[in-house]
Structure 1
Amino acid sequence: MGWKISFCPNTNFRTMFQVRPSQFELECRHTIRSHGRQLARDHRQDWLILLLLVVIEIALNVINPFYRFVGEGMMEDLMYPMKENTVPLWAVPLYAVFLPMIVFFLYYLRRNDVYDLHHSVLGLLFSVLITGVLTDAIKDAVGRPRPDFFYRCFPNGRDEYDRWGNVVCHGDPADIKEGHKSFPSGHTSWSFAGLGFLALYLSAKIKCFDRSGHVAKLCIVFLPILVACLVAVSRVDDYWHHWQDVFAGGILGLVVATFCYLQFFPPPYQNEGWGPYAYFRAVEDLRSNPLPQDTTNMLGTNQERASTSVVGSNLDSAFDAMESGRK
């Protein structure tokens, strides 16, 4: 079907007998061993900010949300039964974070491009953490009751109100606190942030927009989006969220994922959309400043190839001297 993806040049008769690696071969070898440490050092500020986002996310989950006024007339839409989550909270990082990371690592094993691995992981983590901070900050500020708020507030089914008409809850404080975090949906926003980032990544890697007419590629791109949509639907079916909550969460996650992806990668529809910006900058630097012979080892060549290259260079110098009459 013409779906084979190949970014590094294939071996031909010219490159097969070259003792020294070609320039294009060097360009395709940015490994963890050769460039990983320097790359992590260059982005240490980004990783520190990620840790700060984790601390903020934890704090937002510890503090109490705004306890919005809930009157008796509002209870008609808040009397749905309390149910367990179809998609448990612990499962969200598995499919929204670790699953995309597995895809990134498998691609690294094929491509040996540490720039792609590092920036995809960094972009994904920023996507989900920024989305998480925004989601929980809005949750705490809005304090919208969940559809099952009545039975969180009144487990025995007997409602009680103060003189202003506001609820006087006598349920579990943890359930009541969680009952004021309906808008927006955290499951949905995290799902669209992680799986939306994965969908953009896959669309670039399989060259979905190469104008070749292989529309079946869209099935691969839409699969992560479908999973995120099913998670969003489950939140409404479980009566943990109103439809507006999941709609806002999905939009929030997709927007953040798009912004974070475009920080590191070109748009998938561009000719160079398959690789990160950093890779192309490294290639340009390599072309404008060719590396000396003794650094080929650092770019993935073995010791035998390096020593053979030195011998070949000495023989070339000897032949040149003989031809010029100096020997």
Structure 2
Amino acid sequence: MIIQPRTRKLIFSYLPDWLLTIALAAIFFSLDKVEGYRRQFSLEESSIRHTYAVHERVPNIALYFICFVAPVLLQPIVNFITIRSWWDLHNSTLGLILGLALTGSITQFVKITVGRPRPDLIDRCQPPPGSTDPEFGLSTWLICTRTDLLRDGFRSFPSGHSSLSFAGLGFFAYYLAGKLHLFDKRGHAGKAWISLAPFAAAALVAISRTMDYRHHWQDVLVGSILGTIMSYFAYRQYYPPLSSEMSHKPYSPRIKRERDAIIPIHHNDRSSSPSPGPSNGNENSNTYHGFGQGNHTAYNPPAITRRYTDEPISGDDYELAGTVRRPDPGPLEEVWKDGSLERQELDRVRSTPTGGDS
């Protein structure tokens, strides 16, 4: 099978994303085998004297189904019902896995470095009968008579079930919200409930961790916040804001059409292209809302031509069909230059004396 040069470029443009995602997933599973830090604890601390639950309400295998398998199966269905775009299918899958891998690796790293005891630590530890804390200081894991459950017993913060469930189902919630145009300013409660349903499921998973005495409430709260933030971070890499009129479409591929590649980014020279209207002897007296009020000198920012638009792209190019043109302000040097020119112009206008206060 012959791969077209354009297709080959498209594949290689997203290869770093996939490699990074795979690397983060590998880090997540590798850190699970690392011996983490084990904090000192008090044998009299009631918050860590709960009973060890042999059977969890949401075991690991169920968690992986909830946070990964379910969204992977449901997102193509939503895609088929709505825009039927293969590129949307790619972006949603990549974004979901990226969010999960990023969340998981951060969660595991914090777990092994913080080493907070779980609420059931004393039951895992099984200290000798009659044991007490040292006269000066606290007890350590060396006092334990049962050690097979100790490594996981010091990984309470943050909750991995909470962070991963909110990362996976949170991404699916954002995906639904984008497809339904949740923030279209029309106020349909039904769309809100549908979009929030995945978050409700994630919340149930998180709450179950306190019911099993696997986590303190702080662990669950921080894990949930972490998963929510990371899922939105991953979503925004490949989709426009939920407030966008094109929120139901993914960003277009990074490989541009040939005719787009030759459109320059430049600054229009206002001295050669004066704005219409009376000037009153001042070349910068054009009306500008927010600055040009009354007798004050109007601020007219440098006109900048960019290649980015938020309009739908015609379907004559396979890579842009059913997508939103990816923001492309040009090289960073141009972006920095644009901001510098605008600041200079604004400073110049502010320092110009007003004409009506003489």
What is the TM-score when the length of structure 1 is the normalising length? 0.71
SS at match of 1:82: coil
Are 1:272 and 2:253 an aligned pair? no
Gaps of 5+ in 2: 261-311, 322-358
Deviation, structure 1 residue 240: 0.4
Are 1:200 and 2:170 an aligned pair? no
Aligned to 1:77: 47
Deviation, structure 1 residue 216: 1.5
Structure with more relative contact order (C-alpha pairs < 8 Å, separation 6 or more): 1
CA contact (8 A) 2:128 2:144 kept: no
Deviation, structure 1 residue 53: 1.1
Aligned to 2:233: 259
Q: Tell me, in whole angstroms, the C-alpha distance in 2 between the residues paired with 1:241 and 1:36.
A: 47
CA contact (8 A) 2:25 2:102 kept: no
SS at match of 2:215: coil
CA contact (8 A) 1:160 1:169 kept: no
1:210 aligned residue (184, 203, 208): 184
Q: Tell me, in whole angstroms, the C-alpha distance in 1 between the residues paired with 2:256 and 2:189.
A: 33
Aligned to 2:14: 43
2:147 aligned residue (152, 161, 173): 173
Q: Tell me, in whole angstroms, the C-alpha distance in 2 between the residues paired with 1:221 and 1:290.
A: 32
Distance 1:36 1:182, change over 3 A: farther
CA contact (8 A) 2:43 2:122 kept: no
Within 5 Å, give how 1:1-327 maps onto structure 2.
Answer: 39-73=10-44, 75-83=45-53, 84-110=55-81, 111-154=83-126, 159=131, 164-167=137-140, 168-278=142-252
Q: Tell me, in whole angstroms, the C-alpha distance in 2 between the residues paired with 1:49 and 1:279.
A: 18
Deviation, structure 1 residue 287: 6.2
What fraction of aligned residue pairs are identical, expressed as a percent? 34
Deviation, structure 1 residue 204: 0.8
CA contact (8 A) 2:9 2:255 kept: no
Q: Tell me, in whole angstroms, the C-alpha distance in 1 between the residues paired with 2:87 and 2:313.
A: 17
Q: Tell me, in whole angstroms, the C-alpha distance in 2 between the residues paired with 1:127 and 1:224.
A: 15
Distance 1:108 1:141, change over 3 A: same
Give the CA RMSD over aligned residues: 2.9
Q: Tell me, in whole angstroms, the C-alpha distance in 2 between the residues paired with 1:253 and 1:287.
A: 33
Q: Tell me, in whole angstroms, the C-alpha distance in 2 between the residues paired with 1:134 and 1:71.
A: 28
State the AA in 2 paired with 1:127: G
Aligned to 1:305: none
Deviation, structure 1 residue 57: 1.1
Point out the structure with the larger helix share.
1
Deviation, structure 1 residue 72: 3.1
CA distances 1:173-195 after superposition (whole Å, capped 9, x unpaired): 33111110000000000000011
CA contact (8 A) 2:10 2:255 kept: no
Aligned to 1:18: none
Q: Tell me, in whole angstroms, the C-alpha distance in 1 between the residues paired with 2:41 and 2:108.
A: 21
Aligned to 2:332: none
CA contact (8 A) 2:41 2:139 kept: yes
State the AA in 2 paired with 1:128: L
CA contact (8 A) 2:13 2:255 kept: no
Q: Tell me, in whole angstroms, the C-alpha distance in 1 between the residues paired with 2:155 and 2:48.
A: 13
Deviation, structure 1 residue 165: 3.7
Q: Tell me, in whole angstroms, the C-alpha distance in 2 between the residues paired with 1:208 and 1:280.
A: 27
Q: Tell me, in whole angstroms, the C-alpha distance in 2 between the residues paired with 1:287 and 1:146.
A: 53
CA contact (8 A) 1:152 1:171 kept: no
Deviation, structure 1 residue 44: 1.0
35-44 or 246-255: bigger deviation: 35-44
Gaps of 5+ in 1: 1-32, 300-327
CA contact (8 A) 1:124 1:194 kept: yes
Q: Tell me, in whole angstroms, the C-alpha distance in 2 between the residues paired with 1:36 and 1:87.
A: 42
Q: Tell me, in whole angstroms, the C-alpha distance in 1 between the residues paired with 2:153 and 2:164.
A: 19
Distance 1:120 1:289, change over 3 A: closer
Aligned to 1:317: none
Deviation, structure 1 residue 224: 0.4
Q: Tell me, in whole angstroms, the C-alpha distance in 2 between the residues paired with 1:256 and 1:287.
A: 29
CA contact (8 A) 2:52 2:213 kept: yes
